[in-house]
Structure 1
Amino acid sequence: MVLEHVGKKHESFGFRFQGDHQNEIVGIHTLGWENVKSTDYHWDGITRREVGKYVFQYTLSGRGMIEMDGKLYPLTSGKAFLVALPSRHRYFLPNDSEHWEFIYITLYGKEAEKAFRFIHEEKGRVINFPPESELIQLLLSIYQKAVDKDITDAFQASALSYAFMMELYRFARNLGAPVQQWPEQIVKAALFAQNHYDKPIGLDDLVEASGLSKYHFTRLFHKTTSMTPLNYLTKIRLDKAMGWLRSSDKSIQEIARLVGYSNGNYFSKVFHKRIGMSPGQFRESKYTVPVDHIVVD
């Protein structure tokens, strides 16, 4: 599951389950997606009321700042921080930043404390994660479950928390699928595409998001992702379109508009060229095609 599959943005969720066993396990305290634009956004890790909580916050776009041990760390696209509550840190929207968009999860429990301590020792407290990394995709899937109201009891929340925590361990130990540390400029462009695929954006917009020249951007993007910027954007749009085709009765024209195409006929041509069938054929085949996902390069 990638960024473009998230149905709703800028929501927050709190989870409060009963039972003395809660502190013995890993659980979700809060989860959310925000886009702050006011410098009033400022959290001090010493003065906060939460105790025994552990925050993981990942920057999607814009720029925030965190201060730890007297040192300032800029939080741009692709950077995450991990902090315990309470502890000596503060994070905020700096005066020279227009906005800071991020997704976060706050965990609790003794096992979460152990995991965060281990990550701090192995990787530090500010870490780069490419948007396609398994940990970030898992976080987005957990957020989507909250949006869909699919986290309804302590057992579900704990299972998701453990999955997230185990993915942190795997990252720290360099296990699982190898994750390339994408250049920051490419992370910015990739996140821009994933956040704005439903708008009429194109190559020039991705170039601008990266901050590079068009020549250097296209070469670096292909070297990093093994696809052109426009193919990457098209992949995002078609992935989302397939989700709509499978899960809704929206018209082809409406789905085209939802994924950034103003013309339904053009969308259908692109879809057929990449997927090998028309959007209508794909929709009607959803109960007979023996696969759950179609991978598009």
Structure 2
Amino acid sequence: MLKKDKEWVLNIFQFKKPFPIATINAIGRHKITDPQYYWDNMNRSKDGTYCLFQYTINGHGEIKIDGKTYKIGKNEAFFVKIPGKHVYYLPENASSWEVLYVEFSIEVEDFRKQITENAASDILKFTPDSKFVSLLWETFYAATSREIHDIFQCSRYTYNLIFELLNGYNKVEKKKNSLVTENIKKYIKKNYAKPLSIEDISNYTSLSKFHLTRKFKAETGISPGQYLIKTRLKNATSLLLNSNMTIEEISEKVGFSCGNYFAKAFRHKFKISPTKYRNYYKNFYKLNVLSNE
């Protein structure tokens, strides 16, 4: 850390592991005031491989994950693997950022991925009176009071924190994910005719491309991009049967960049060209109408 940073309380544990076991490597409280505070986590391989959880007590900071910038305000946290493709820092519009952070051993990585997946977000949100936040402070005070004497005590505190995170986010997973997925569907149905991209959907949901794609596919069985094509093709079939628009006009109307791409996607989905689909089903419809008169 930088020398100008204030109120830096750090506790490092160096217990020998008799076997692979999840532990806390370090825990600390840190008030950041230096505008040069900046961590590029791709360049931290010399620090080893571990998982960093950083909770905001006061003020705010920022983190960039997969090129997307997130503000981390009071009672919010990030949970990342280091090294990794992310940076965090004190932004220009912040005078200070007070945090409580935990460096977990790499054995918690699978848990970390599950927690962030359940949260459907790169930023975790808490209430100040939540059980997890209480456990976090309890662990910090146990460390500063030198009450953690061996690796097994250290591991117990580790699993208490991790399991409480899992428990908290499992409770909201279905409701939150269903809401996120339904909002994505509504957004696509409303905007399918526009040159929509995964970046547009990411900006709309405030989720990273990775998380929104994984969560959407887990619930629907297809990616947001596939759902977009499905929606466009569904509307295209209606226009083919109920309008005199050309194939090129229909292609443009439903959001495809060109007629060739539309025809290729249509043939892949229905195993028939748009023109043959129109001729076959229009004639079929006419025969049905005549036979029922």
Give the secondary-structure state (helix, strand or coil) at the position aligned to 2:171.
coil
Give the secondary-structure state (helix, strand or coil) at the position aligned to 2:111.
helix
Matched, 1:43 2:53: no
Q: Does the CA-based 8 Å contact 1:78-1:128 persist in structure 2?
A: yes
The one-letter amino acid of 1:99's match is S
Query: Shift of the alpha carbon at 1:32?
Result: 0.4
Equivalences, count: 164
Matched, 1:143 2:127: no
Query: Shift of the alpha carbon at 1:129?
Result: 0.5
Q: Does the CA-based 8 Å contact 1:53-1:108 persist in structure 2?
A: yes
Q: Does the CA-based 8 Å contact 2:17-2:151 persist in structure 1?
A: no
Partner of 2:29: 33
Q: Aligned ranges for residues 1-297 of structure 1 at < 5 Å?
A: 10-21=8-19, 24-48=20-44, 49-110=46-107, 112-123=108-119, 124-174=121-171
Q: Deviations over 1:250-289 (max 9, x none)?
A: xxxxxxxxxxxxxxxxxxxxxxxxxxxxxxxxxxxxxxxx
The one-letter amino acid of 1:94's match is P
Sequence identity percentage: 29
The one-letter amino acid of 2:15's match is F
Query: Shift of the alpha carbon at 1:10?
Result: 4.0
The one-letter amino acid of 1:118's match is Q
Give the secondary-structure state (helix, strand or coil) at the position aligned to 1:152.
coil
The one-letter amino acid of 2:48's match is V
The one-letter amino acid of 1:145's match is A
The one-letter amino acid of 1:56's match is F
Give the secondary-structure state (helix, strand or coil) at the position aligned to 2:100.
strand
- For 2:86 and 2:152, the matched residues in 1 are separated by 31
- For 1:89 and 1:20, the matched residues in 2 are separated by 32
- For 2:122 and 2:41, the matched residues in 1 are separated by 14
Q: Does the CA-based 8 Å contact 1:119-1:125 persist in structure 2?
A: no
- For 1:142 and 1:19, the matched residues in 2 are separated by 20
Query: Shift of the alpha carbon at 1:163?
Result: 0.6
Query: Shift of the alpha carbon at 1:16?
Result: 1.0
Partner of 2:221: none
- For 1:109 and 1:125, the matched residues in 2 are separated by 18
Give the secondary-structure state (helix, strand or coil) at the position aligned to 1:72.
strand
Q: Deviations over 1:148-167 (max 9, x none)?
A: 11012111101100111110
Give the secondary-structure state (helix, strand or coil) at the position aligned to 1:158.
helix
| Structure 1: unaligned runs, 5 residues or longer | 1-8, 176-297
Give the secondary-structure state (helix, strand or coil) at the position aligned to 2:63.
strand
Query: Shift of the alpha carbon at 1:38?
Result: 0.4
Query: Shift of the alpha carbon at 1:41?
Result: 1.3
Give the secondary-structure state (helix, strand or coil) at the position aligned to 2:164.
helix
Question: TM-score of the superposition, structure 2-length normalised?
Answer: 0.54
- Which structure has more relative contact order (CA 8 Å, sep 6+)? It is 1
Give the secondary-structure state (helix, strand or coil) at the position aligned to 1:11.
strand
Q: Does the CA-based 8 Å contact 1:67-1:73 persist in structure 2?
A: yes
Question: TM-score of the superposition, structure 1-length normalised?
Answer: 0.53
- For 1:121 and 1:30, the matched residues in 2 are separated by 24
Give the secondary-structure state (helix, strand or coil) at the position aligned to 1:46.
helix
- For 1:109 and 1:75, the matched residues in 2 are separated by 23
Query: Shift of the alpha carbon at 1:20?
Result: 4.7
Give the secondary-structure state (helix, strand or coil) at the position aligned to 1:173.
helix
| Structure 2: unaligned runs, 5 residues or longer | 1-6, 173-293
Aligned-residue CA RMSD (Å): 1.4
Query: Shift of the alpha carbon at 1:73?
Result: 0.4
- For 1:131 and 1:88, the matched residues in 2 are separated by 29
